[in-house]
Amino acid sequence: MRLLRSLLRLALEDDGSAALTSLIPPIREAPPSEWAEAIETLRLHELLPYAGYALRAHGLENDAPTAARDRLAAAYFESLLRNLRSIEVLKEVCGEFRQRGVDPVVWKGAVLATGFYPDPGARPMADLDLWIADAERGVTTEILDAAGLMRRPDLDDADAVHFKHPCGVLLDVHHRVRLFEGREAATLTRHLPLPEAGLDAARVLAPDAMIAHLVVHLNGHRKKTGPLLRWVLDFAPVARRWGDELDLDRTTALLPSPLDLALLLRLIGFLDRELGQPPPPAFAEIAERFPPFTLPEVLRQRR
């Protein structure tokens, strides 16, 4: 557990951080058996690329056993190459949209990987997600058909249509987001530069909406997967970058139930107590009233 905690914290720390000095000894001193256990846990929580990036970024690859080092490096580079391919598709698709006067909201995975995490390979993306107005469905299909993307009508549902780029990248275009129904999209979004994606002003979820979406997405999958650490860690870079802008009342108003708020506050406590990530100022006092998740608790619940 000591090694796992160090690997989880490592990518969250900047070079020169005082915390780095306490994270390095567990990495250098852990026996191969502890490395094997940590690697399996990271695999289950889809964090091998994240840990591989962290070792590489801090020059600690050679402090890991050869088998662990190679596994983590391979996972990181695989994630990096896959994400770079997805980013090229995102840039292409957004360019096509803008030529037709459509400004889609770029959904969380691509935004996190290119705008919040320290490296585009550290945060794997399964697919690309965009959010458009319901009235733009028809023109969206025309745009993507003309751009050579293939429809996947067998996957379409009441909320989204699905496409596949010839290079294999999957794209889901959401025209209905139940979490935000009845709210003006303009109040939930902002424009943010995503230089890694070649986008000078991508439309993304605003801070409180981003946090609300992360909570509801995680909670929606908990019954099937348990609390996946890859999704839990998404809160850390968002809180670090936007923490001063987050507002308790605005976020609470976007959450479907008090249970979602309780989950958020327990996650904030987890990031603070287990990974040394201070809570956003607006949430610090109320988070103290809720028992934080512990790392053993999260690991037990993973399915």
Whole-prediction pTM: 0.94
Long-range pairs, 215-224, Cβ under 8 A, ≥24: 215/255, 215/260, 215/263, 215/264, 215/267, 216/179, 216/255, 216/256, 216/260, 217/108, 218/263, 218/267, 219/259, 219/260, 219/263, 222/301, 224/303
Q: pLDDT tens for residues 49-75?
A: 999 999 999 999 999 999 999 999 999
Q: pLDDT tens for residues 7-36?
A: 999 988 877 788 888 999 999 999 999 999
CA torsion 177-180-184-187 (nearest 10°) is: -120
Q: Band of the pLDDT at 302, cuts 50, 70, 90?
A: confident
Q: Band of the pLDDT at 263, cuts 50, 70, 90?
A: very high
Q: Band of the pLDDT at 79, cuts 50, 70, 90?
A: very high
Partners of 205 in the β-ladder: 189
Instruction: Output b/e per residue, 25-52; b: 16+ Cβ within 10 A.
Output: ebbeebeeebbeebbebbebbbbbbbbb
Q: pLDDT tens for residues 157-191?
A: 999 999 999 999 999 999 999 999 999 888 999 99
Of the listed ranges 7-16, 175-184, 196-205, 291-300, the one predicted with least confidence = 7-16
Percentage with pLDDT > 70 across the chain: 100
Mean pLDDT computed over every residue of the chain: 94
